[in-house]
Amino acid sequence: MTIEWVLGLLATVITSVVTCVLIPNLVTWLKTKTQSERLHTVFAELGDTVSTGVSFIEQTFVKQMKKDGKWDAKSQRQAFSLALDYVLCNLTTTSKTLLENNIMDLIEFIGSRIEAEVCNRGELYEG
């Protein structure tokens, strides 16, 4: 065995390890990292859209219902529905697609985010 033969064997082994193990794992890691960053951005967009939607419905619908003395269970359901429609109309198509691909029930998920936003606002107003 010569040193050239050993170095050639070592180079072959290293190339095989890099090709078969490191590169596929690096590609998988990059895809996961990119997907995670996209989802983080989408969740931030969703939070902003929910917050804006709840504010909009509060200003344009809820205040008037309360002023007219018509704020009841029916108008609360209507306000929720309006907020849900607002969010669904104002999310980007890309965001909706990513959410649909990663969340079992998008409508239920957005609904829970709206309810949380309303609850947080109620605590802020009461406190």
Distance of CA 28 to the CA centre of its chain: 21
Question: Does 102 map to a domain?
Answer: yes
Residue 5 is predicted with a pLDDT of 74
Domain membership of residue 86 (yes or no) is yes
Class of residue 83 by CB neighbours under 10 A (exposed 0-12, middle 13-18, buried 19+): buried
pLDDT tens digits along 80-127? 999 999 999 999 999 999 899 888 899 999 999 999 999 888 754 444
Structural domain boundaries, residue 47: 39-126
Q: How far apart, in whole angstroms, are the C-alpha atoms of residue 19 and residue 84?
A: 49
Q: Which two tokens stand for residue 118?
A: 């309303």
Task: Please count the structural domains in the chain.
Answer: 1
What is the average pLDDT score of the chain?
Answer: 84
% residues pLDDT > 70 (the chain)? 84
Is 52 contained in some domain?
A: yes
Residue 11 lies in a domain: no
Quick one: pLDDT at residue 127? Answer: 40
pTM over 0.85: no
